[in-house]
Amino acid sequence: MIAAFVGGLIFLGDGRVLEKGTVVVEGERILRVGKGKTAIPKGAKTIPLDGRSLLPGFIDTHVHICLDASPDPVSTLAAEPAPITVLKAARSARETLMAGVTTIRDMGGKDGIDLHLRDAINRGLTPGPRMLVSRNLVCMTGGHGWPFGREADGPDEVRKAVREQVRAGADLVKLMATGGVLTPGVEPGAAQFTEEELRAGIEEAHKAGRKTATHAMGREGILNALRAGIDSVEHGVFLDDEAISLLKKRHVPVIPTLSALYNIIEKGTEGGIPAYAVEKTEAVKPHHLRSVRMAREAGVVIAMGTDAGTPFNRHGENLREAMLLVEMAGYRPEEALHAATGLAARVLGREKDLGTVEEGKLADLVVMDGNPLEDMGLLLKPEAIALVMQGGRVVKGNLDNL
C-alpha cells in the first residue's frame, strides 16, 4: 500500500519544518517529501493531517530496558528472578514504542535479556522499538555499575571483556570511565578505568566494527575517554574548556540524560530513593546544568538520551528529556526535537536510515495532535500521539480513523 500524509506540519528532523507538506510512504520506506500535494501517486491512500504534526520516529540513545524505574531499580534488578525482568522489559519496550520512540540504544542489561528482547522484537514476537544493545557494561572491579556489569582490570582483561560482549552479539560497547550516582560507595567525579584500559576496550570494539560509549561524569575520566578514542560521552557532568575543545575536535557527542537528574531530585528520599543517590545527584546538579549549557554554546553535538529505568525515569516517558532540554538547558523547542531525531540517529550511526523525514529512509513516523513547538507538553500526553509507524508498519493508531 502507498500512503500519503497531506496538509500537516512536517518536522523534517534536521531543524527544518514544512508547513502543509506531503509525505508519501511506500512499503517500509519514504517515497517522497514535498510541499503542498506534490506528486501523490495514483491510487495512494490519502491521510489528511489538518491540525496535526508529523515527525520522525523519536530516538532515545540511552536507556536501561532491564531497569524498572522503581525507587531503587538496581537493587530490584539484583533481587528479582530473570523471568520477571523479561516480562517487565517487554512491557517497557511496548510502552516506549507507544510513546513514539521507535529506536533505542540500551546501555547495560543483565543476563542477555536486552539481546534476546532485541531479537524478539526483530522477529515480531513482541512490540517494541528498534534496539541497539550493549549487553553487559564493562567496569573496573567494584566500579560504577558492577552489580550487573562485567568487571575487568588492566588493558588485557578489558580487551577480553569487550570481546565477550561482541561474541555474544552486542551492537556497541559501553565502558565506565568514572563513578556514578546509583552505585553506593563510588564518587561521580572520580576516574575509574585508566586511559590505557579505555583505549584497549575501544580498540577491540572498533576492530569488530562496534561503536563505543562511556559513562563519564568527572573531568579526568571524560578526558581519558576522549584521548582514548571514545565515540560518545554519556552524562558529561564536569565538562571544562579542555574537554569541550576535544569533544569538538573529535566530533564526539554528549548525551546529558537530564531526566535521571530531574526525577531523582523531584522524588527524593520521600519517594524511596536511597539517600546516597539523592545526595550525590544534588551535589552534581549545578555542574551538570552548567556543562550542558557550555557544550551547547560551543557547538558540541548533544543528542537525546534519558537513562530510562533509573528512579522514576519511566519507559514511555522518554520525551520528557526533550522538554528538559528546553526548561533546564535553554534549548529552543526545534533544537530539542532535532536532538531527539536527526542528531540521535547520528549518535547511533544510523543516519542513513533513521532520524529524518527524507526520501529513501525508513518510514519511522509519528503523527501528533497539535504543534509541539507551541506546546512541548504534548510530548508526554499519550492521547496526543495519534499514530506511530515503524518501518512503514502502523504500530499505534489506524490510518482509516486518523
What φ, ψ does residue 153 adopt, rounded to 5°?
-135, 130
pTM value?
0.97
Q: How far is CA 57 from the centre of its chain?
A: 12
Looking at the fold, whether 114 and 229 belong to one and the same domain comes out as: yes
Looking at the fold, whether 190 and 281 belong to one and the same domain comes out as: yes
How confident is the model over 54-81, as a mean pLDDT? 97
What is the domain range of residue 365? 2-56+357-401
Q: CB of 65 within 8 A of CB of 237?
A: no
Q: Give the CATH number for residue 101.
A: 3.20.20.140
What φ, ψ does residue 369 adopt, rounded to 5°?
-70, 130
Q: What is the pLDDT of residue 37?
A: 67
Looking at the fold, whether 62 and 189 belong to one and the same domain comes out as: yes
Looking at the fold, whether 202 and 180 belong to one and the same domain comes out as: yes
Q: What is the pLDDT of residue 401?
A: 81
Helix (H) / strand (E) element for 29: namely: strand 29-35
Looking at the fold, whether 265 and 117 belong to one and the same domain comes out as: yes
Looking at the fold, whether 297 and 397 belong to one and the same domain comes out as: no
Looking at the fold, whether 36 and 127 belong to one and the same domain comes out as: no
- pLDDT tens across 143-152, in order? 999 999 999 9
Looking at the fold, whether 52 and 67 belong to one and the same domain comes out as: no
DSSP-derived pairing of the beta strands 130-133 and 101-106: parallel
State which amino acid sits at residue 132.
L
Q: Give the CATH number for residue 47.
A: 2.30.40.10
Looking at the fold, whether 146 and 39 belong to one and the same domain comes out as: no
- pLDDT tens across 318-346, in order? 999 999 999 999 999 999 999 999 999 99
- pLDDT tens across 350-390, in order? 999 999 999 999 999 999 999 999 999 999 999 999 999 99
d(CA 95, CA 294): 33
Give, in order, the Cα–Cα distances in Å from 123 to each of 111, 116, 120: 20, 10, 5
- pLDDT tens across 228-241, in order? 999 999 999 999 99
Q: What is the pLDDT of residue 36?
A: 74
Looking at the fold, whether 68 and 110 belong to one and the same domain comes out as: yes
- pLDDT tens across 253-291, in order? 999 999 999 999 999 999 999 999 999 999 999 999 999
Reply yes or no on whether the pLDDT at 195 is more than 70.
yes
Looking at the fold, whether 45 and 129 belong to one and the same domain comes out as: no
Domain count, the chain: 2
Residues with Cβ < 8 Å from 116, sequence gap 6 or more?
Answer: 86
Looking at the fold, whether 134 and 23 belong to one and the same domain comes out as: no
